[in-house]
Amino acid sequence: MVTESSGGIMNDKKDIINPFEALCVLASKRHFCWTLYCTTCGAMDIRTGFTMIAKGYHPQPSSLDWDIKHSKLKRAMSQDWSDEMTEKFISELSNASIEFISNNCTFPDWLGYMGLVLHQFHFDFNNRIKLSSAWKPQLDAIVKKRSPQNVDTRIEDINILTWDSLSVYESILK
C-alpha cells in the first residue's frame, strides 16, 4: 500500500520509494497525460517530473517544491540535460520496481509513463540498453506471473525496449 507523508510517498514498509516509482504513483493519482504526441499539453506534467528527477528532486506531494501542476520549471528535453542529469535520471529509473509501479498505478497508464521515457531516449541507444536491462526482466516476470496463459514469443523477441514494444506487453496483460 502507498501512503503520502511529509517525507514523500512511502510503501507499506514505511520506506521512501524510488523517485520514478513515486512520480508514477503521483501521475496516476492526478491523472497526468501520457499521450505521446499530445497537442494539448505535450504530456508536460509527467515530462516536467522527469526533469525534476534528473535534477535530484524526489516527489513529495505535500511539499511545494514538487507541485508539478504549478511548477515554474520549464520542461527540458533529455537532449538539453547535462550528462550528470541524464546519468542521475537513468540511474533512478533503472532502480525502480516495475512490479511496485504496476501494483500502484492505473493500467495501462504505468506502461505509458515508461513509454514516454523510452521515447525520450529513442536515439540514445546506450541509455535505452541500460533501461531495457533493468526493466525487461521485470516486465517479463509480471507477464509470467499475471498472464501465464498469454505468454508468447513476442516478448522473447524483444531485446531492447522501445515505446512501441510496450504495446506487446499491454496486449498480453489486458
What digits encode the pLDDT tens for the residues 55-91? Answer: 888 886 554 345 665 555 555 566 689 999 999 999 9
Least confident of 49-58, 86-95, 160-169: 49-58
Residue 14 confidence class, pLDDT cut points 50, 70, 90: very low
Hey, what's the cell of 12? Answer: 507499506
Q: What is the pLDDT of residue 28?
A: 93
Rounded alpha-carbon distances, angstroms, from residue 174 to 107, 150, 169, 170:
9, 10, 9, 6
The 10s digit of each residue's pLDDT in 102-130 is: 999 999 999 999 999 999 999 999 999 99
Are 155 and 168 within 8 A, CB to CB? yes
Can you tell me the distance from the alpha carbon of 29 to that of 19, in angstroms, rounded to the nearest whole number? 15
Question: Which CB contacts under 8 angstroms, 24+ apart, belong to 62-66?
Answer: 62/4, 62/5, 62/6, 63/6
Hey, what's the cell of 148? Answer: 501465464
Q: Is 88 exposed, middle or buried (0-12, 13-18, 19+ CB in 10 A)?
A: middle
Residue 169 CB: number of other CB atoms within 10 A?
Answer: 24
Are 88 and 53 within 8 A, CB to CB? yes
